Structure 1
Amino acid sequence: MDLGTYEQRARGGPCFVCSFVAGDPAYAHETVYEDDAHVAFLDRYPTLPGKVLVAPKAHVEHVVRDLDEAAYTRLTLLVRTVALAVEDVVAPERTYLLSLGSAEGNAHPHWHIAGLPPGVPYARQQYHALMTEHGVLDVRPEDGAATAARLRRAVAERLRGG
C-alpha cells in the first residue's frame, strides 16, 4: 500500500463511501450487507482478516450531530450485528470497533470492525493492529469474495435472529 497515494486520494478525491455506493468501479469493495440506509463492506486495505467497514449511505460528516437518535440507533445496532457476524466468521480473541474520519479526509463517518486473531503479541495489538503504516494484508480477490460471502450469510442469519 502506498500511504502517500492513499492520503492524497482520501484528502483530495471524492468521498470513498459515496463513490462506492454510487457504483464507481474505482471505489469497488466486496459488499457484506446493504439496506436502504446503510452499507457494510470489506476494507480495501485490511490490517486484520475479515476487516469490515460500516457506514450510513447518506453523506453525513458528524454522525452524532447529523443523524437523529433513531438513525443513530439503527446504525449502531447494525455495527453490532456486523461485529457479531465477524466474530462468527473469523473467531477473534477480541473485536475492535473504531469510527474514523475527519473533515480533512474520509469525512463520511464509517466504523472499522476488526477481529484480532488469537496469539497476536501484545505489542502488535490495539492501534498497532489497525494502522496501515504497519502493513496491510494481501488478500486475493477470490479470497475476499469468499470471506464476504461467509460474512453475508452470518449477517443474514443474525438478522433473522439465528
Structure 2
Amino acid sequence: MQRKAMDLEAYMERARSGPCFICAFLAGEPGFAHDAVYEDDAHVAFLDRYPTLPGKVLVAPKAHVEHAVRDLDEVAYTHIMLVVRKVALALERVLDAERTYLYSLGSQEGNSHLHWHIAALPPGVPYEEQQFHVLMTENGVLDMQPGEMADLGARLRAAVES
C-alpha cells in the first residue's frame, strides 16, 4: 500500500471552518464529491476521500445529526447500525479482511455530522501497525488514483446490492 502525506493543517481548517462535508456532498456542492456505495431514504455510504486502508467507507444519516446516542431514537440507531453492518459485510466480500474496524468520530468543532467509519484491515499487517496506527491520517493516506477509487466504488456498490 503506497502512502502519501496528508496536509493535516488544510484538512483541519476545512473541517473547522468550511461547510459540513456530508451535507455539502449530499447537496452536490463542487469540491465535496465522493464515490457513493449505498444510499436509502435516510442514509448514505461513500468511500473516504482520505483512506488509510483500501475501501475505507463512511456511513452517515442524510439528516444532519450530531450525536449517536442522544440524537437518534432506538429505531433510528438500530437502522443506521444495520446499514453499517450491510456495508461492512459487502466490504468484506470485496476485500480480504483480517478484521473490520467500525468506529464513529467527529467533534462539535469539526466534522460534527454523525458518521461511522468502516475499515477492513488486510491480512499480514504487522501488529504494531494495526488498530489506531493504521487508521491515523498522520501516518499517511493511501495514494489511490481516481480510476482505482471509481473501480472499488463500483465493486462495493455491486456487493452491497447482492
What TM-score, normalized to structure 1? 0.95
Regions of 4+ moved over 3 Å? none
Higher helix share: 1
CA displacement 1:40-64 (0-9 Å, x = unmatched): 0000000000000000000011121
- More relative contact order, 1 or 2 (CA 8 Å, 6+ apart): 2
Q: Indicate the residue corresponding to 1:139 in structure 2.
A: 144
Q: Indicate the residue corresponding to 2:97 in structure 1.
A: 92
Q: Indicate the residue corresponding to 2:22 in structure 1.
A: 17
Gaps of 5+ in 1: 158-162
Q: Indicate the residue corresponding to 1:64 in structure 2.
A: 69
Q: Indicate the residue corresponding to 1:160 in structure 2.
A: none
Q: Indicate the residue corresponding to 2:116 in structure 1.
A: 111
Gaps of 5+ in 2: 1-5
CA RMSD of aligned residues (A): 0.6
Distance 2:19 2:139 in 1: 26
Q: Which amino acid aligns with 1:154?
A: A
Task: Name the count of aligned residue pairs.
Answer: 157
- Work out the percentage of aligned pairs sharing the same amino acid: 71
Corresponding residue to 2:133 among 128, 132, 141: 128
Q: Indicate the residue corresponding to 2:35 in structure 1.
A: 30
Q: Which amino acid aligns with 1:130?
A: L
What TM-score, normalized to structure 2? 0.95
1:26 is paired with a residue whose SS is coil
Q: How far is 1:25 from its partner?
A: 2.1
CA displacement 1:92-136 (0-9 Å, x = unmatched): 110000100010110001111000010000110000010000000
Q: How far is 1:68 from its partner?
A: 1.4
Distance 2:134 2:159 in 1: 24
Q: How far is 1:67 from its partner?
A: 1.3
Distance 1:92 1:25 in 2: 33
Q: Indicate the residue corresponding to 1:102 in structure 2.
A: 107
Distance 2:129 2:141 in 1: 13
